[in-house]
Amino acid sequence: MKSVIKVCLGIFLVVAFCSPLVFAESKVVTCQGKYVMGDLDTKKEAKALALMEAKRAALEQAGTYLESSSEVKNYELTKDEISSLASGVMSVEVLKEEWKMSGENLMVTVLIRATVDTSNLKARIAALKDNQESVEELKNIQAQLAALQEELHALKAQRTEEISGKQRETPKREIKEKYVAITNTMTALDHLKSAEAAMANGRLEEALSYYNQALSVDPNMAEAYAGQAIVLKRMGKPHKALKKIDKALELAPSSARAHSIKSLILAESHRYTLALNSINKAIELNPKNPRFYFGRGMINLKSKRPRLALKDFERACRMGAPKACKQAKTLAQRLNTQKNSHQRPIPFRRPPVHK
């Protein structure tokens, strides 16, 4: 019966221990994650799950440290924003991997060093506030990981029931296949989370490496191709970026984000008609995202349609996008200076204040 309990506890016998060190503009913590294998696990899966737990513990420590910072306190960040900020300023290095027996089961311990870079926090927080989409992306990834963790627990419990009181047998094929699929998805999502955080903080080469790792585990992860497209665009490689985003849309044709990213790539290449088609599709799929209206406004502005651009900026402004409000005000003032007797002054329509 003891062996059954050990198998059942496999996914949850993950212990994290962190030791902090503080330097001049950085905080370093060493964290370890432990995972006891069950008969559904391989060494590869066990190592990945232990590493994820160590990184989760390090992220928690980083968030607590940042939350206590006077700079962060001044901005009154939400829990999700602090988590996103911590992900972006933290880099991880694996220091050690150790395997040993724990009772009748094999246990892996992964030791990592996480460095939290606290330089330029004000600029990073300002960028974070201006890009709530990245906060939502991270929140979505974390929610998916939590749901998959529950699925893994259910499979472990199911396996325990099957072998309870019996001699251990080879797991049923369908259970093993599902278990492998879940752990692979978790590993790919963990790489995706690291990639998104690195990209949000301008570490483009690191982000590209994580996106590649995600795709090596799950070749059909549309979000990773979309992320690669953004990185390649920022690297000044629009043709390669376009190929990546087309692959993302092939896998997820209903992704509003992917259509939006494609519009940015096309606009940068001055292909404004195609860019408008893409951003209009994004808006059709998700009409409540102010960033899409702001994006369409920028395309209209670049393609010499200032009045249409103004309407989009004003709409995005009313939806709560501060950058759009500033752009709308500047554009309205510019248009009002035009000395054209056929034009009436164009007022900047400030969004209503909701009390």
pTM: predicted TM-score of the whole model, two decimal places: 0.80
> Which CATH number applies to 220-287?
1.25.40.10
Q: What is the dihedral of CA 140, 144, 150, 151, to 10 degrees?
A: 160
What pLDDT is recorded for position 11?
A: 35
What pLDDT is recorded for position 263?
A: 98
What pLDDT is recorded for position 133?
A: 76
What pLDDT is recorded for position 35?
A: 93
Closest of 100, 99, 102, 98 to residue 6, by C-alpha: 102
Cβ-contact 63, 86 below 8 angstroms: yes
What are the residue boundaries of the structural domains of the chain, listed by start? Answer: 1-165+172-210, 220-287, 302-355
What pLDDT is recorded for position 17?
A: 57
What pLDDT is recorded for position 4?
A: 30
User: Would you mind telling me the total number of residues written for the chain in this entry?
Assistant: 355
E strand or H helix that includes residue 327 = helix 322-336
Residue 92 makes CB contacts below 8 A (sequence gap 6+) with: 55, 58, 112, 113, 114, 115, 194
What pLDDT is recorded for position 284?
A: 98
253-285 in b/e form (b: 16+ CB < 10 A) is: eebbbbbbbbbbbbbeeebbeebbebbebbbeb
DSSP 44-93: HHHHHHHHHHHHHHHHHHHHHHHHTSHHHHHHT--HHHHHHHHHHHEEEE
**pLDDT tens digits for the chain (355 residues)?**
333 333 323 333 455 556 665 544 678 989 999 999 988 889 999 999 999 999 999 999 999 888 888 777 778 888 888 888 888 888 899 999 999 998 888 999 999 999 988 888 888 888 887 777 778 888 899 999 999 999 988 888 887 777 775 555 666 788 888 999 999 999 999 999 999 988 888 889 999 999 999 999 999 999 999 999 999 999 999 999 999 999 999 999 999 999 999 999 999 999 999 999 999 999 999 999 999 999 999 999 999 999 999 999 999 999 988 899 999 999 999 998 875 545 555 565 655 655 4
β-pairing verdict for 105-117 and 90-102: antiparallel
